[in-house]
Chain A
């Protein structure tokens, strides 16, 4: 599989100039269903520069999660081009896409999606093990310590609170030091206070790792913490604004 070296993937604007890490051009996605064709994305254009933090807002069904799926290589667009971290995703087969995600993308889900049979440290170590990192568990432990869970290493997800589980998921997403982190409503399953703590951790980690962050949220307050806010409606970007 011929993928760009992740070490050369731009992590932050500045030294690398204004090089985009995500570039969506004319992306359409139509899905067939029993009730007829559904147009989920209708010509999406988006360019994200390395190191940016992007808040994506919009009503339910506007295509936010689908956009994240397409950027992560989890869904193929009907038309348009998708370039992420130097990869033209249309050219990659399923295994190459898995390798691309392992090297370049971290994902934080609304529902955490930790593996229930693995401890916190094992959950965080999994992507490192995939990457054949020799000290995977040491790095996983360090990653958990940075999100304040150094005392929860051997706990299983069922033994952790929702907030703790999401912090484990954040530690897992950042463990491989990806160039791009996609967060799909990471506070959606958390109460307000816990959600704020998780968002703090997320931004701290993004800052610490110089990671580009693309954050989907319904919460405009959280979105405004990003350097740019993108508004989606009916599968199109209808507004973009830089945060003050």
Chain B
């Protein structure tokens, strides 16, 4: 840096403020790229935090008790049941898969696999079973005129084309559908997201009438225990294990209330973080483009200031401060959008994840997004700003049309490299899966290098295509390699979007074994499509719309979209 007394942050700030009077006209792309990237990361982080908060806050309701004890194939022995009952509140249920068939004379009548759940009178210990119409427990499940009552998931009515009041046969039992379940408090704690059929809920005494309780039947007997506040769950579990060491039950605590959901949230969060990072990468390229284009338009002003005696370091500070101010605006806008995401996401993801997203502000997620935004603005904006510092004062006399692009001083190149490394480190630290994040960063860097080489090859080839007779073709080819050509920037932008698409596909392939991953991919690929549309449009418009030889390409892309 210069020892010149004119190089002060205060003076740079005064001049930057004056320059900002022209408004954000030249910075719309910059603001859009950064705000979208920050919003994406803030939204992902906030939504994941909101889901995790719901998992914690609603853990008792999801688990159905303070501790859940599950036996497969057999119910608890009288001794075991008595011990569980002594703990405090106790509710038991039996769950199995069964075939439900409309009770008609037609043996080929509509039928469906259902998730049968038989509950006792204490169910649920926490939360409430909500039905439509709202009925009492007795009205829902009791036996009337030889028919047990049942509550079913809405989906079962649609699947079988039946209505409330119709009768279903399950095994040897006959059940009158009396209500539709609108909220099953422990739905996520049971079969979670993975279910083979819609829910059919009956009273536990009715289960015996189905004749399905046969030796070897795959029946899950679950006992939910509500412990007094003074009892430590861990102590109680230790005592249970000590008293019944060979019971073979699976014991779950509050923090294990919904393992499938927790895993889903982690995977969705991880993948969407990569979505956000790709957004940032594309946004960063947009930032560099926008800053470069803005500063190209400021060549005369910069050269004038230099003629008046401004050293390069002062020029860099003036425009760096402008970038930081505008970045702050974009980051703030992105954070607002991201902070609102948990509120908006509840409805959007309700079809996939039956868990309310905890509304609220999540400072950690927002701080991470802000850090990504700031580092992106600095890493991608510093290079063109530093290069602006090298604009010769003599540009006022010549070269104004196509100012020669100088390399920035080494210190700024090092600072840019440091910023990019910091971005990569932040990505790895915050991704949650260090290994995957490292591969993501390495892949992004490698792809960037490959596409850079491809862009150079395109420009090299275009430069040698000299004997073109048609003016339109000649102009278009020349635009690929002329000074200031957008070819490298377009290459980087397209690369980022392609890598985003391929990472989505790879993720789908690598994780297709899990049902929940199908949901992740549906969400991710929808986001991919939306984001790809947006980012490509922004970058293409930024680079091409003002350059006549490329207008046809722009129009073509509009048609494709």
Measured CB to CB, the residues of A under 8 A from B are 1, 65-66, 68-69, 72, 74-75, 94-95, 98-99, 101-103, 107, 109, 111, 113-118, 122, 126-127, 129-132, 172, 184
Q: Which of B4, B20, B305, B311 sits near A115, CB closer than 8 Å?
A: B305
Which residue in chain B gives the minimum CB-CB distance to A115? Answer: B301
Say if the beta carbon of B164 comes within 8 Å of chain A. Answer: no
Chain B neighbourhood of A69, CB < 8 A: 394, 397
Chain A residues within 8 Å of B393, by CB: 72, 74, 98, 101
Query: Does B11 lie within 8 Å of A115, measured CB to CB?
Result: no
Report B306 CB to chain A, min CB distance, Å: 6
In chain A, what residue has the closest Cβ to B14? A129
Closest chain-B Cβ to A59's Cβ sits at a distance in Å of: 17
B307 with A107: CB separation less than 8 A? yes
Is B312 an interface residue, CB under 8 A from the partner? yes
22 CB-based A-B contacts, threshold 8 Å: A66-B397, A69-B397, A72-B393, A74-B392, A74-B394, A95-B311, A98-B4, A98-B309, A99-B6, A102-B308, A114-B304, A115-B19, A115-B301, A115-B304, A117-B18, A117-B21, A118-B18, A126-B305, A130-B310, A132-B5, A172-B308, A184-B397
Q: Name the distance in Å between A34's Cβ and chain B's nearest Cβ.
A: 12
Cβ of B72 under 8 Å from chain A: no
Q: Give min CB distance, B519 to chain A, whole Å.
A: 51
Q: Are A127 and B22 in contact (CB under 8 A)?
A: no
Q: Are A113 and B304 touching (Cβ within 8 A)?
A: yes
Determine whether B300 belongs to the interface, using a CB cutoff of 8 Å to chain A. Answer: yes
- The chain B residue sitting closest to A126, CB to CB, is B308
- The answer to whether A98 touches B311 (Cβ under 8 A) is yes
Is chain B's interface secondary structure helix, strand, loop, or mixed overall?
helix
Interface size on B, residues (CB 8 A): 32
- Find the A residue at minimum CB distance from B21: A117
- Encoded as 1 (CB less than 8 Å from any A CB) or 0, chain B from 192 to 227 comes to 000000000000000000000000000000000000
Verify A131–B18 contact, CB threshold 8 A: no
Q: CA separation between A1 and B2, bound complex, in Å?
A: 10
Does B110 sit at the interface, judged by CB under 8 A? no
Q: Which of B4, B14, B300, B308 contacts A101 (CB 8 A)?
A: B308
Q: Contact between A130 and B307 (Cβ–Cβ < 8 Å)? A: no
B21/A99 in contact, CB under 8 A: no
Contacts A95-B311, A99-B311; A115 near B6 (Cβ below 8 A): no
| B307→A94 contact, CB < 8 A | no
7 smallest CB-CB distances across A and B, nearest first, come from: A102-B309, A74-B394, A95-B311, A130-B6, A127-B308, A113-B304, A117-B21
B1-39 interface with A by 8 A CB criterion: 2-6, 11, 14-15, 18-22
Q: In the assembled complex, how far is the CB of residue A214 from the closest CB belonging to chain B, in whole angstroms?
A: 15
Digit string of B104-140 for contact with A (CB within 8 Å is 1, else 0)? Answer: 0000000000000000000000000000000000000
A68 to B396, CA, bound (A): 12
Report the minimum CB–CB distance from B366 to chain A (whole Å).
33
Residues of chain B in range 384-403 having any CB-CB distance to chain A below 8 Å: 392-394, 396-397
Residues of B within 8 A of A131 (CB): 6, 309
Q: Does B313 contact A (CB under 8 A)?
A: yes
Judging by beta carbons under 8 Å apart, are A113 and B18 in contact? no
CB distance from B252 to the nearest CB of A (A): 65
Q: Please, which residue of chain B has its CB at the minimum distance from the CB of A113?
A: B304
